[in-house]
A = this chain, B = another copy of it.
Amino acid sequence: MPAVSDAEDTAVRAKQIPEAAVARLAVYLRILSGLAEQGATTVSSEELSAAAGVNSAKLRKDLSYLGSYGTRGVGYEVQVLVSQIERILGLTRQHRVAVVGIGNLGHALANYGGFPGRGFPVEALFDLDPDLIGVPVGGLPVSHMDDIPRVCSEREISVGIIATPPTAAQSVCDRLVAGGVQCILNFAPVVLQVPAHVEVRKVDLAVELQILSFHVARRADSAASAGAAGENQGNTGLPGTGRPADNGSGGGRNGAGTDGGLGMVVR
């Protein structure tokens, strides 16, 4: 059997990597970059996993999806891991980013100007506000939302970040898609409708807070019922549950509905 091509190899591996592992690989990558800057050349699974807040078995399994790049008895070469993770995550190409909705959040994103590990240069900004059009933010002038399709297409934008109020989100999304954008990061609390070839991820602060609230409430409740009336019926209190456990951050597509969210333009 002939050796598979590089593209095929990457594709085959990538297919099999669990979604959850992908998220962690991105985390490992940041840590590894840090280690590299500090001059480290090798790491053990133990060290790396500790820094990432996972156990070492999980880390090794995650890395094994990349291939076998470690040395038994020694550890991993930092540079090798960095390259391999970047390859799998597709960070070898540039992903030009557009930010839509230049409120406070949009400002933060625009000023950021390229995300860690690079590969995500911000190359277009959009808003509705006439006072904002043309004004440079983070060195880049703001364009009007009506121009999203044209500008995105011209500048070959592949990632769109929606930081608008929820009511505007779907229409912004449609225009981004029309402009050829392939990925959308959505801060508006709305479920976006997109064609099959477009990938969406959502960040919802209200949901995050509510999840935290749940855990606190649960703890308070079980403490209450454990410590309260003597009628312990065996399945409640539980001794100190110990660590909060490695919570997979919730996610998936999200809620249409009431206004509100971080996307609003605050001025």
Known: A93-B217, A247-B251, A248-B19. A34 touches B112 (CB 8 A): no
Query: What are the 6 tightest A-B residue pairs by CB atom distance, in nearest-first order?
Result: A249-B251, A23-B250, A90-B217, A34-B257, A104-B108, A53-B253
Segment touching B, from A66-74, A141-149, A172-180, A221-229:
A221-229
Which residues of B are found within 8 Å of A254, using beta-carbon distances? 27, 30, 52-53
**CB proximity of A174 to chain B, nearest CB, Å:** 17
User: A206 near B251 (CB under 8 angstroms)?
Assistant: no
Please name 9 further chain A to chain B contacts, defined as beta carbons within 8 Å, in addition to the given A2-B231, A10-B221, A26-B210, sorted by A numbering: A10-B217, A11-B225, A12-B235, A31-B255, A52-B253, A116-B206, A183-B215, A199-B212, A201-B249
Once bound together, how far apart are the Cα atoms of A177 and B5, in whole Å? 52
User: A215 near B196 (CB under 8 angstroms)?
Assistant: no
Q: Work out how many copies of this chain go into the complex.
A: 2
**CB proximity of A169 to chain B, nearest CB, Å:** 13
Which residues of B are found within 8 Å of A183, using beta-carbon distances? 209, 212-213, 215-216
- Closest residue on chain B to residue A260 by CB atoms: B116
**CB proximity of A238 to chain B, nearest CB, Å:** 7
- Closest residue on chain B to residue A37 by CB atoms: B258
- Closest residue on chain B to residue A220 by CB atoms: B90
Known: A115-B205, A225-B11, A251-B249. A22 touches B211 (CB 8 A): yes
Q: How many residues of A contact B (CB 8 A)?
A: 118
- Closest residue on chain B to residue A251 by CB atoms: B249
Once bound together, how far apart are the Cα atoms of A5 and B200, in whole Å? 43
User: A19 near B250 (CB under 8 angstroms)?
Assistant: yes
Q: From B19, B112, B236, give the contact of A8 (CB < 8 A).
A: B236
Which residues of B are found within 8 Å of A27, using beta-carbon distances? 204, 207, 252, 254-255
* A91 interface residue per 8 A CB criterion: yes
Which residues of B are found within 8 Å of A262, using beta-carbon distances? 108-109, 112
Residue-wise, chain A 29-53 has the 8 Å CB interface mask toward B (1 for contact) of: 1111111010000000000000111
Known: A23-B252, A159-B209. A216 touches B182 (CB 8 A): yes
**CB proximity of A261 to chain B, nearest CB, Å:** 7
Which residues of B are found within 8 Å of A199, using beta-carbon distances? 212, 215-216, 244
* A150 interface residue per 8 A CB criterion: no
